[in-house]
Amino acid sequence: MIRNIIFDMGNVLIHWRPEAFTERQGIPEQDRPQLLKEVFGSVEWIQMDRGTISFEEGIAAICRRLPERLHNAARELTLHWWEHHLLPVEGMADLIRELKGMGCGIYLLSNAKTDLPLYFDRIPGSECFDGRIVSADWKLLKPQPEIYQTLFREYGLKPEECFFIDDLNINIEGAWCTGMGGVIFDGDIPRLRQALNAAGVPVSLSRKKQHPNASS
């Protein structure tokens, strides 16, 4: 029986669109591909998610590969992307609150940096979460089995009673390898509700998909 629902963050709870970040930041179009590559596509970005280098170390390494005119933009995108670009996935807050009302445990399992507490309360349904495992805090990354096992251990969860929602197939496969079921989320909330039903979690199937401009 599924008792706990585990959520990834990027492209599950919030939209993760680095291309839109650079556009909204007003960065000249000709500079955007280089910033996307050297900031969000960098090894340092992953190392900061793993918690093995500091923000300052990561930014310094990134800036060494960028022209000076882009240094401020790289720093702003690394440290403050969430202040301007944190957009909830439509319909997710309602689903989380429904699951909580049914008595499910709600947990976060995310590859994210140490600054997540600064914006966690802006994540849809954040008030419903019973716990969270953030990669940088444990120096682990999905899909390493150890990060899933850390979630189970820290919160006393049984893998077979957990269901994981992530947007990447490799992370769902990692969950399966540790005994936890799950589903790949592609942005379709009605389909996700169907998948939860199929797993034995009787959420409503009648919720309409919200308009993209609707509040979560």
Question: What is the mean predicted confidence (pLDDT) over 82-107?
Answer: 95
Is the per-residue pLDDT at 187 higher than 80? Answer: yes
Question: What is the mean predicted confidence (pLDDT) over 126-136?
Answer: 98
**pTM for the structure as a whole:** 0.92
Instruction: Supply the mean pLDDT for the chain.
Output: 94
Is the per-residue pLDDT at 53 higher than 70? Answer: yes
Is the per-residue pLDDT at 207 higher than 60? Answer: no
What pLDDT, in 10s, does the model give residues 56-70? 999 999 999 999 999
Residue with tokens 């197939």: 169
* pLDDT confidence bin for 212, thresholds 50/70/90: very low
Identify residue 211 by its one-letter amino acid code. H
Which two three-digit tokens encode residue 114? 């140490």
H helical segments located in the chain: 18-24, 32-35, 43-50, 55-64, 71-85, 92-101, 116-119, 135-138, 145-155, 169-177, 189-198
Burial grade of 202 (CB within 10 A; 0-12, 13-18, 19 or more): exposed
